[in-house]
Structure 1
Amino acid sequence: MTSRAYVARDYYDILGVSRDATPDDLKKAYRKLAREFHPDVNSSPEAQEKFKDINAAFEVLSDPQKRQIVDMGGDPLAPGGGGAGPGGPGGAGPFMGFQDIMDAFFSGGGMGGASRGPRPRRRPGADALLRLDLELSEAAFGMESPITVDTAVVCSVCEGSGAADDSQPETCDTCNGAGEVQSVQRTILGQVVTARPCPSCSGYGTVIPKPCGKCGGDGRVRTRRKLTVKIPSGVEDGMRIRLAGQGEVGPGGGPAGDLYVEIHEKPHDVFTREGDDLHCKVKLPMTAAALGTRLTVDTLDGQESVDVHAGTQPGSTLRIRGAGVPRLRGGDQRGDLYVHLDIRTPTKLDAEQERLLHQLAELRDEEIVEPARGNGFFSRMRDAFNGHA
């Protein structure tokens, strides 16, 4: 089975800059290309791949050490280590690949550099996110809502240590507590000391002979908890409420992250919401709009009467001040309720109603165009074709 050689990418060509480009030149080129190929602007699959290449090129050329490897003919992002010269990809012998060189530079080993030391078993936990569906009135006036969350909590048996009662973490025999092991290899840059996490202790520097039977040595377990979240009045769809320290407990019983409760407001049967204002539509007969009337309108606080003045035109809107949603952290301030009038014209009239409307039109001196009675031009043409001319 033959293997294909990896061809190093020309990151300068990807960004469209010269090999002596300054950091400012790189930033300008990256921003220009990012605006053109960002997935939010250009959704084509080719653009997405191009955007990945642009990011990779900027990442490499912005790093002096990675850029030096590119200038030497290598590719620091090549799988398994890339580059030209001795010790290239898949090469055997006393030289290491470029990926190993990068590991040496960025893992704390370097050219015989200092050790990183063991990583702590106790680390901070991640944040958690929970969706909460609310009715309009609940979001408007606030409430206290019970919620159920599934998160990691400190193990009650080992209290976060990860060890059984009769066991304690012991120093790793492989790395002697350093958390990493080092090796010396020759490269095209000379002798390089590489440091990698210890395979025996996973970089902790200690091992647990008898892990806790409940948490398996992680110091935390998943459980379902019930909490109460206070919803302030005026929250909107998409807002998040932060509950500090109620997220995931970290490995080794580390401090918990935060819990974010994301508000999702359910659609309402009557009202639509725009910020702190509410909108609704009310059907109104033509005669009521012409003569004027008094409407009873539903609001979040109950029913309220509002006057419709005589001669109100289609598309008119009535405003009820202070009948909207309370403003978030706005004290007693509230938005308004807008009532949009849908004035309806009757579609079917009996003989008496039609006579009265004709009479009204005559009194108002309004011209009425009578419908065609069959003696118009098109009627005569139809009769001619039918042989009745």
Structure 2
Amino acid sequence: MGNQDLDIRYDLYLSLEESVFGVKRKIEVPCLETCDSCSGTGAKSSSCIKSCTDCGGRGGVMRTQTTPFGMMSQVSTCSKCSGVGTIITDHCRTCGGSGTIRSNHAMEVVIPPGVDNGATVQLRGKGNINKKRGIAGDLFVILHINEKHGIWRDGHHLYSKINVDYTQAILGTVLKVETVEGLKDLHIPSGIQPGDTLKLPQKGVPDIRKPSVRGDHRFIVNILIPKGISDKERTLVKELASLRSNAKDHEIPFNNTGTSESNFDKKPKDHASKRGIRSVTTLWKSITKFLQYVSLTSHRFQNLPSKSFVLSWFIFHSYA
């Protein structure tokens, strides 16, 4: 056997959790090792090993043939002894003449946290054994990670899809979600949109080179819209739609100059949007500052043009 012939490939299957957190697994590997009964010769005894009569123990035979360029000789492997140079007349009863026996070797494999699917763990000297030459091959453990329903991996991050009821999306809620650490609480903020991504930090896959650095578990949101609703639900939804429509009608938009595009003599109703209320509040503060400025400085600028007066107020307002 060559050194590579002594190497062994072993396929080991892991759960997603085992690949994330690492694991110690006990395995039994079928190995080939030199037969102790015949010391790897394959013969019952040394007297059963004879020199090959075809090649004279050389393992190769020379054949000569005539060509247009003269006589040419070529050495080829002896077909009788397969190039060994010896013939076994009586084979070993233990190994059947192969010179090796198969045995199971129990060992422990340490899988580090954060391994990828298809990764290889090499265990030196744990392969097939050639006692005659005093060498052993290596064991190559090929890792296969089983998929977990509802969770998939991309780099150091884990991903899942979650369904959120439309009422939960509007009001916000807390959902129990499946992770590699079991069920965890995931906060759903009000106003969540379809396709938005939420995350649980440090619940993903560790970096195999730096296990303290860990990815996130990210959740892609799907909003469930019911195909059929009851009459009572329909009435409530219509009422909600009406309230939202009225709220939008009472919002006070502003143009880029900061001035209102609507009259201010209308008071917002109780259900006006917060955006409209904030806009009115901001404008009212600006007006108050302007009036204070006029009261304090009007006697200084009585002879100034109106444009200069307004510019002065803006300078005052900017640093107030």
Q: TM-score of the superposition, structure 2-length normalised? A: 0.68
In structure 1, the residue matched to 2:120 is: 240
In structure 2, the residue matched to 1:327 is: 207
Tell me the CA shift for residue 336 of structure 1.
Answer: 1.1
- The answer (yes or no) to whether the contact 2:33–2:131 under 8 Å persists in 1 is no
Letter in 2 for 1:293: T
Tell me the CA shift for residue 280 of structure 1.
Answer: 1.1
Query: Equivalences for 1:194-209 in 2 at 5 Å?
Result: 194-209=74-89
- Tell me how many residue pairs correspond in the alignment: 246
For 1:207 and 1:335, the matched residues in 2 are separated by 63
Letter in 2 for 1:361: A
In structure 1, the residue matched to 2:64 is: 184
Larger radius of gyration, structure 1 or 2?
A: 2
* Percent of aligned positions that are identical: 35
CA-to-partner distance for each residue in 1:68-88, whole Å, 9 max, x for gaps?
Answer: xxxxxxxxxxxxxxxxxxxxx
In structure 1, the residue matched to 2:98 is: 218
CA-to-partner distance for each residue in 1:91-147, whole Å, 9 max, x for gaps?
Answer: xxxxxxxxxxxxxxxxxxxxxxxxxxxxxxx64424332222211101111111122
Tell me which of 116, 139, 145 is aligned to 1:259.
139
Letter in 1 for 2:13: D
In structure 1, the residue matched to 2:195 is: 315
For 2:24 and 2:47, the matched residues in 1 are separated by 44
Letter in 1 for 2:208: L
Tell me which of 11, 25, 43 is aligned to 1:131.
11
In structure 2, the residue matched to 1:365 is: 245
Higher strand share: 2
Tell me which of 54, 60, 73 is aligned to 1:193.
73
- The answer (yes or no) to whether the contact 1:155–1:253 under 8 Å persists in 2 is no
CA-to-partner distance for each residue in 1:43-92, whole Å, 9 max, x for gaps?
Answer: xxxxxxxxxxxxxxxxxxxxxxxxxxxxxxxxxxxxxxxxxxxxxxxxxx
Tell me the CA shift for residue 168 of structure 1.
Answer: 7.0
Tell me which of 180, 185, 206 is aligned to 1:305.
185
**Gaps spanning 5+ residues in structure 2: where?**
247-320
Letter in 1 for 2:218: Y
Partner SS state of residue 160, structure 1: coil
CA-to-partner distance for each residue in 1:301-325, whole Å, 9 max, x for gaps?
Answer: 2443333222111111102221101
For 1:252 and 1:213, the matched residues in 2 are separated by 19
Query: Equivalences for 1:1-389 in 2 at 5 Å?
Result: 123-124=2-3, 125-165=5-45, 167=47, 169-249=49-129, 255-365=135-245
Cα-Cα RMSD:
2.7
Say if 1:151 and 1:188 are closer, same or farther in 2 by CA, change over 3 A.
farther
For 1:226 and 1:170, the matched residues in 2 are separated by 38
Tell me the CA shift for residue 361 of structure 1.
Answer: 0.8
Partner SS state of residue 246, structure 1: coil
- The answer (yes or no) to whether the contact 2:198–2:219 under 8 Å persists in 1 is yes
Tell me the CA shift for residue 264 of structure 1.
Answer: 1.7
Tell me the CA shift for residue 169 of structure 1.
Answer: 4.5
Tell me the CA shift for residue 278 of structure 1.
Answer: 0.6
For 1:252 and 1:171, the matched residues in 2 are separated by 20
Partner SS state of residue 331, structure 1: strand
For 2:29 and 2:116, the matched residues in 1 are separated by 22
Partner SS state of residue 332, structure 1: strand
Q: TM-score of the superposition, structure 1-length normalised? A: 0.57
Tell me the CA shift for residue 364 of structure 1.
Answer: 1.0
Deviates more, 1:170-179 or 1:237-246: 170-179
Partner SS state of residue 245, structure 2: coil
Q: Which structure exhibits the higher relative contact order, with contacts defined as CA atoms closer than 8 Å and separated by 6 or more residues?
A: 2
Letter in 2 for 1:224: N
Tell me the CA shift for residue 173 of structure 1.
Answer: 4.3
**Gaps spanning 5+ residues in structure 1: where?**
1-121, 367-389
CA-to-partner distance for each residue in 1:140-189, whole Å, 9 max, x for gaps?
Answer: 11111122333322213223233334547454444333221213221123
Partner SS state of residue 218, structure 1: coil
Say if 1:216 and 1:251 are closer, same or farther in 2 by CA, change over 3 A.
farther
Deviates more, 1:131-140 or 1:240-249: 240-249
Letter in 2 for 1:355: T
Letter in 1 for 2:68: I
CA-to-partner distance for each residue in 1:307-353, whole Å, 9 max, x for gaps?
Answer: 32221111111022211012222231111110111211233322222
Letter in 2 for 1:187: T
- The answer (yes or no) to whether the contact 1:142–1:232 under 8 Å persists in 2 is yes
For 1:328 and 1:254, the matched residues in 2 are separated by 35
